[in-house]
Amino acid sequence: MPTLLSTLQSGVRTLTFNRPERANAFDFELIASLLRALDESERDPQTRVLVLTGAGTTFGSGQDITEMKLAAGNISYREHLYETYNPLVLKIRTIEKPVIAAVNGMCAGASLGVALACDLRIAADEAKFVVGFSGIGLVPDSGVSLFLPALIGLGRATEFYFSNEPINAETALKWGLVNRVVPFNLMDAVQNTAMLLAMGPIGAYGKAKLAFNKAMYPHLEEVLAMEADLQEDAGKTKEHQEGVKAFLEKRIPKFN
């Protein structure tokens, strides 16, 4: 079973994270498949708009902790980010086509970074957003440290990183984290929006994205690099070791 599904309809390419048994957690294979699909979509004239979503009832739970645990000692978090999420976030921001996140359920950690990098976020009623990272003794990466404060304010972003509490769809809409909340038939609503965009001036949309990036995120690459450096340091701490151990043992971590 492929970890990424791809469909094309009326100029709209839908890329679906297909690891529902792992809450659509990102592993190396899924990230590589997504990067390839974005590269292909960028060159494909038939693809005018992209939609990212998750199979089942979850958008994505972030990085697959089990995979990282198995690779412990053989992986640098800095190198991992440079090879995976940093290019993924940059690709979403620089692809000159609209990218919509259809957030169908829980969206946490690196998956939140992917959603925030998209141009629009349309959420189901039951969607929830969790900054994550602090629960396993890590710092925000995948652009979360930049995108989240830009959208909801530094105070709120800091509180929800510290607390690791979820933000529900209604609050996310109120704060500007999402563009719209759909009470039912999320993918129908997203497809209708995407098809309207696909009939629009895609070239102008792409140039507008470049302008928005320059105005709002001129230091994105520098921030991603800083996140990677900080994550490299955080990944070597006892806090992170305890956080991962507690996660795998399904208990509350004891950071003291």
* Residue 65, phi then psi, degrees to nearest 5: -65, -35
| pLDDT score, position 1 | 86
Class of CATH domain 4-183 = alpha beta
Residues of the chain with pLDDT under 50: none
C-alpha angle 249/134/139, rounded to 5°? Answer: 130
Tokens of 73: 């000692």
Question: Rounded to whole angstroms, what are the CA distances from 111 to 29, 81, 174, 197, 249?
Answer: 15, 13, 21, 24, 22
Say if CB 97 and CB 49 are below 8 A apart.
Answer: yes
| pLDDT score, position 72 | 59
Distance separating alpha carbons of residues 91 and 93, to the nearest angstrom: 5
Each domain of the chain, given as residue ranges in start order, spans 4-183
| pLDDT score, position 211 | 98
Q: 141, 40, 175: which is closest to 97 by C-alpha? A: 40
Tokens of 240: 């992170």
Tokens of 12: 């709209």
| pLDDT score, position 67 | 79
| pLDDT score, position 70 | 58
Sequence letter at residue 226: M
| pLDDT score, position 71 | 58
| pLDDT score, position 198 | 98
Tokens of 256: 């003291």
Strand partners, 6: 15
